[in-house]
């Protein structure tokens, strides 16, 4: 929905879609720099999270790579289960 907003940079009224990416039609300044910054930070966080996830199967992965990631994920899960069982064992029988 389009509305109007007074630009905080040049003071002119400009159209505003209430989106973080909206810019002033007069000076091309961001109308809501804080929202824009938050949006970029959120997207950057999501991007890093996805890139760092080794077990996520990517679209351009070969069959071998998909297998490696799936086996890796299973080993990771097994390792986590062993660690968890070990911790449970230690905390349960150590007293
Ligand atoms: Zn402006």
CA 13 – ligand 1 centroid, Å: 8
CA 41 – ligand 1 centroid, Å: 24
**Residue found by looking up tokens 């349960």 in the block:** 92
pLDDT surpasses 70 at 1: no
**Claim: this prediction has a pTM higher than 0.75:** no
| Cβ 69 vs Cβ 61: under 8 Å | yes
CA 21 – ligand 1 centroid, Å: 14
pLDDT tens across 39-91, in order? 999 999 999 888 788 788 888 889 999 999 999 999 999 999 999 999 999 99
Domains in the chain: boundaries: 1-52, 54-95
Q: How far is CA 64 from CA 16, 57, 67, 68, in A?
A: 49, 11, 5, 6
Give the Cα separation of 5 and 24 in Å (integer).
Answer: 9
């Amino acid at each position: 929905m389009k509305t109007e907003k007074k630009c905080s940079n040049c003071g002119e009224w400009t159209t505003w879609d209430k989106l973080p990416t909206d810019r002033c039609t007069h000076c091309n300044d961001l109308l809501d720099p804080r929202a824009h910054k938050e949006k970029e930070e959120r997207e950057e966080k999501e991007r890093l999270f996805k890139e760092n996830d080794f077990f996520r199967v990517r679209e351009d992965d070969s069959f071998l790579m998909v297998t490696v990631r799936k086996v890796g994920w299973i080993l990771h899960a097994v390792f986590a289960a062993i660690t968890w069982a070990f911790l449970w064992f230690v905390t349960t029988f150590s007293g």
